[in-house]
Structure 1
Amino acid sequence: MKVDSVTEKAVKAVLDKFAESYARRDLKSAMSLIAPDDDVVIYGTGADEKRVGQEAIKTQFERDWAQIEDPGLEYNWISISAAGNVAWVAIDAVLKAKVDGQNLKFQSRITMVLEKRGDRWLIVQGHFSFPDQSQFFD
């Protein structure tokens, strides 16, 4: 469903804060965007990166930051839809990182579901993936 401008602006603010928090390695700020529910789920790009609940998600952020330097997340395209107090987002992004002194960029895809609670939008589900680079079509 088409999102109204107020909801779109509020959801984009959460997405921007998420990217900023991730780049700054600001765990408190990043976690403030995640719903405090036992069933909140974040899928990462790794085969073992299914995190359920805030503690598991916190551990994943810490693991990410231990493995890379200079993290960054740049959004290239964002689609936001909403119905009532639920919004869903699809994003084409670039994940930036320095690994072993080498600056890397990974094309990535992100989907999220957010729920409005009171006057705040919180992430209740997220999925991060890398497109399969072996599938190129003209």
Structure 2
Amino acid sequence: MTGLQDPLALDSASRAVAEAAAMAVPYKLAEAYARRDIDSLLALFANISEVTWIGTGADERRVGREELRCQFERNLEQSEVLLFRFEWVRASATPTAGWVMAEGSMFAAVAGENIDVPVRLTAVVVEEDGEWRVVQAHLSCPATGQAAGESFPTLFEQMADAVRRERPDLLQHTSPDGTVTILFTDIEGSTAVTETLGDRVWMEVLREHNEIIRELTREFEGYEVKSSGDGFMLAFGSARRALLCAIEMQRAFARRNALKPEVTIRICIGLHTGEAIREADDFFGKNVILAARIADMAQGDEILVSSLVRALTESTGDFRFGEERRVELKGLQGLHRVYGVTWN
């Protein structure tokens, strides 16, 4: 019969049109943010009471159009520039409903600082008054400190990722040549120790550990950037002072363990030096991660340093370094040279 079309072909065509419309949603969001147009942002969302936006912040669960408006206004008020670049977008849809997911990056100029981070967007969309509108959306920043192939970040990776997002001001802690030495510490086997001792005793051990770390950090003019559970990230304006501090930490815990052999504390330490001024935009994304990866490789009672730390400190004659090790560090290309430091 002429004039009739295959229903399956019609269904496929309508789905293709719907999916193309759904895939346009992330780009419309990016355009509205680039134009800093609150009304255009809100127009992308369904006119229902339970319309929801979940963002990256701890308080960013917004339900209802007024809460969404407040969130979008806050985002624009706190940024001079806010741009999204979506490079990977997928969608699945019927003629009336669907979902879309996208990956890309977010660039923001905030208080004179530039932030460029990866982002992911997922959204449920529906057809409303001839337009595709969002019912629920979730914007997130993946944990960049978590290595590819790993389901969970290590303690050092968690701290490094938090610092990368927060970007604390370390310029007052730089050396005259603009470098900062990052030192990470962690207690070896802390999870097993906690289970053995119980929470109450473990908290007492942890307080003792923290007091030693903080006292020596002050003594060697370091700065506590971040602490998390049983780990610390510290910054020093001198690679020599940082390494002397690391050695004194190991010696302090050795003395403590000799007095309390029933509950020993064995710490792992890793150090790396980076140029915080010349490489300001990349310092938190490269140098901090490298220091964290080196610390991840250290065993209990061990200090590991990068080749740069060794180069900056060996001429003083204060330190003895072990043999060079060429190692792969998770998430970083190539082989990296690290050295153990003798402290006992």
> Normalized against structure 1, the TM-score is what?
0.91
For 2:27 and 2:145, locate their aligned partners in 1 and report how far apart those are by CA, in whole Å.
Answer: 30
Moved over 4 A (4+): none
Q: Which has the higher contact order (CA 8 A, sep 6+)?
A: 1
Structure 1 SS opposite 2:126:
strand
2:82 alignment counterpart: 71
Q: Distance in 2 between matches of 1:133 and 1:14?
A: 25
Deviation at 1:118, TM superposition (A): 3.4
Change (3 A) 1:8 1:83: closer
Following the alignment from structure 2 to structure 1, what is the Cα–Cα distance between the partners of residues 83 and 127?
26
| Range that drifts further, 71-80 or 128-137 | 128-137
| Structure 2 match to 1:10 | 21
Shift of 1:36: 1.3
Structure 1 match to 2:46: 35
Q: Counterpart in 1 of 2:100?
A: 89
1:21 to 32, 36, 39: 32
Q: Single out whichever of 12-21 and 119-128 deviates more from structure 2.
A: 12-21
Q: Please list every run of 5 or more consecutive structure 2 residues that lacks an aligned counterpart in the other structure.
A: 1-11, 150-344
Match of 2:71 among 32, 47, 60: 60
Residue identity matched to 2:97 = V
Cα distance, 1:10 vs structure 2: 1.6
Which one has the bigger strand percentage? 1
3-state DSSP of counterpart to 2:92: strand
Q: Which has the larger radius of gyration?
A: 2
Q: Secondary structure at the match of 2:17?
A: helix
Distance (whole Å) between structure 2 residues aligned to residue 100 and residue 33 of structure 1:
28
Quote the offset at 1:84 in angstroms. 4.3
SS of residue matched to 2:145: coil
Deviation, 1:4, is 3.1
In structure 1, give the amino acid aligned to 2:145.
S
Partners of 2:24 and 2:142 in 1: CA distance: 25
Aligned residues: 137
Q: Which shows bigger deviation, 87-96 or 49-58?
A: 87-96
CA-to-aligned-CA distance 1:65-118 (integer Å, 9 cap, x gap): 111111101101011011341110111121110112222211011100100123
TM-superposition CA deviations, 1:24-49 (whole Å, max 9, x none): 11011111111111101100100100
Match of 1:127 in 2: 138
Secondary structure in 1 aligned to 2:22? helix
Helix, strand or coil for the counterpart of 2:34? Answer: helix
Measured after TM superposition, the shift of residue 134 of structure 1 is 2.6
CA distance in 2, matches of 1:5, 1:82: 8
Percent of pairs with identical residues:
38
Distance 2:129 2:46 in 1: 12
State the SS of the aligned residue for 2:90.
Answer: strand
Partner of 1:108: 119
RMSD of the alignment, in Å? 1.7
Which of the numbers 128, 131, 136 marks the counterpart of 1:117? 128
> Which segment is superposed worse, 95-104 or 107-116?
95-104
User: Which whole-Å CA distance do the structure 2 matches of 1:104 and 1:9 have between them?
Assistant: 31
Q: What SS does the aligned partner of 1:45 have? A: coil
